[in-house]
Amino acid sequence: MYNSALKILRLFPPEMAHDLTLNILKYKKFVSKNFEDPILSQHLMGLDFPNPIGLAAGFDKNAEVIQSMFSFGFGFIEIGTVTPKPQKGNIKPRVFRLQEDRAIINSLGFNNKGVTKVKKNLLKIQNTLRSNKIIGVNLGKNKNSINAIDDYLLGMEKLGSLSSYITINISSPNTEGLRELQLKGKIEKLIKKILQKREQIESINKKPVLIKISPDLNEDQLRDIALISLANNVDGLILTNTTAERTNKLISNYKTKVGGLSGKPLYLTSNTILKKMYNLTNGQIPLIGVGGISSGSDCYNKIKSGASLIQLYTALIYSGPILITNIKNELIDLIKTDGYKNISDVIGKSV
Ligand SMILES: Cc1cc2nc3c(=O)[nH]c(=O)nc-3n(C[C@H](O)[C@H](O)[C@H](O)COP(=O)(O)O)c2cc1C
């Protein structure tokens, strides 16, 4: 069924196909043969993850299809990026399928319905969703905001208590100036203010705060982020967002489009960043590995490269939701074949 649906969806331009998908997921209930195996479960950052596979930010920007996505077997879901005010994003067309490369280029620019609407959506599912489901809220800043830090603080205030963890996204390439927040002086100030805010609000003072970073950072920048994260007890890092760089291996005619590249061509780059960060932080901060994962062995290698958890998005577009069950089965086989007892035994084994 999913294969035929995917074939039909691929006939539409990518953004229209995505909107159609969201509409189907919103109104149709999916009954899946979803399973959990304790070999994949972990207690991390104070949360119980039934399996390490998460839905990356950007798929469900407005918290509209969380239930359906859980029914496909994800261990956790990250909604957003959400900005304080609703915004339309950049001009269309702004999503391109690089089919031959199993990749996507997007320049969406944080199109989303804003914190007030997203809060309503999160409140709506609170009673129906089992309380142990893990939902991360990914926060960003509005394009025209005067003070970026205030935007993140407002996002925390409005949505923090409805989330299991909070992601500070300072790495999307499609909002001017955003990625500069990753630089030494700025990130330190941002992190301190965010953690201060968390202290002040009782309903969020135990929520893990994670920072999502870009694959386009150099060694010095990575070292700065590692040291600042360690010094301030940041709960986790998500590596990586999409890349603004292009390899000369891309085949598709869309390869010159402006925006962030995701999917297979990002896999090795994001793995390299992951390994470096695992070393720089001595494995002391949980890392979520994202970028180009499309199989159980991709996922296994990310975890061996230092990730405690993983997220994916682009492969879902090409393979459909059956991918999640397939990855889980393959992961279990790989763990058992290598003689490990639990997924956590694999973390960082190839660094
Ligand atoms: C269409 C699209 C929209 C995205 N939107 C966001 C976003 O709003 N916030 C964010 O942090 N990452 C966003 N991402 C990046 C993903 O979360 C992920 O970091 C990246 O795509 C790499 O993973 P993948 O190769 O599995 O897709 C988006 C990615 C795509 C393809």
**Residue tagged active-site, from 171, 172, 262, 305:** 172
pLDDT of residue 132: 83
Task: Burial-class residue 320 by CB neighbours within 10 Å (0-12, 13-18, 19+).
Answer: middle
Residue 172 in contact with ligand 1 by CB distance below 6 A:
yes
pLDDT at 33: 66
pLDDT of residue 196: 96
Q: Where are the alpha helices (DSSP H) in the chain?
A: 2-9, 14-27, 66-71, 114-126, 148-159, 184-200, 219-232, 267-280, 296-304, 314-319, 322-337
Q: What would the 3-class secondary structure string for 279-293 be?
A: HHCCCCCCEEEECCC
Domain residue ranges of the chain, discontinuous segments joined by +: 30-344
Q: What is the CATH number of domain 30-344?
A: 3.20.20.70
| 18 C-beta closer than 6 A to ligand 1 | no
- Look at residue 238 in the predicted model and tell me its pLDDT: 98
Chain centroid to CA 197: how far?
Answer: 23
pLDDT of residue 336: 98
C-beta of residue 76 within 8 angstroms of C-beta of residue 136? yes
Can you give the pLDDT at residue 50? 97
Q: Whose CA is nearest to atom 22 of ligand 1?
A: 291
Q: Determine the 3-state secondary structure of 101 from DSSP.
A: helix
- Total-model pTM: 0.97
Report the half-sphere exposure of 209 (CA within 13 A, side-chain side).
Answer: 27
Give the Cα separation of 256 and 105 in Å (integer).
Answer: 9
Q: Compute, in angstroms, the gap from residue 262 CA to the centroid of ligand 1.
A: 7
Pocket test for ligand 1, best of 178, 179, 241 (most atoms within 8 A of CB): 241
The pLDDT, as a whole number, for residue 31 is 66
255: its two tokens = 């390869």
Residue nearest to atom 4 of ligand 1 (CA): 58
DSSP string, 287-331: EEEESS--SHHHHHHHHHTT-SEEEESHHHHHH-THHHHHHHHHH
Q: Could you report the average pLDDT of every consecutive run of 10 residues in the chain (351 residues)? A: 82 93 86 84 98 98 96 96 98 97 98 98 86 94 96 98 97 93 92 96 95 96 97 98 95 97 98 98 98 98 98 96 96 98 97 88
Is residue 310 within 6 Å of ligand 1 at its C-beta?
no
Nearest ligand 1 atom, CA 140: 9
Phi, psi (rounded to 5 degrees) for 171: -135, 5
Q: Does residue 172 have an active-site annotation?
A: yes
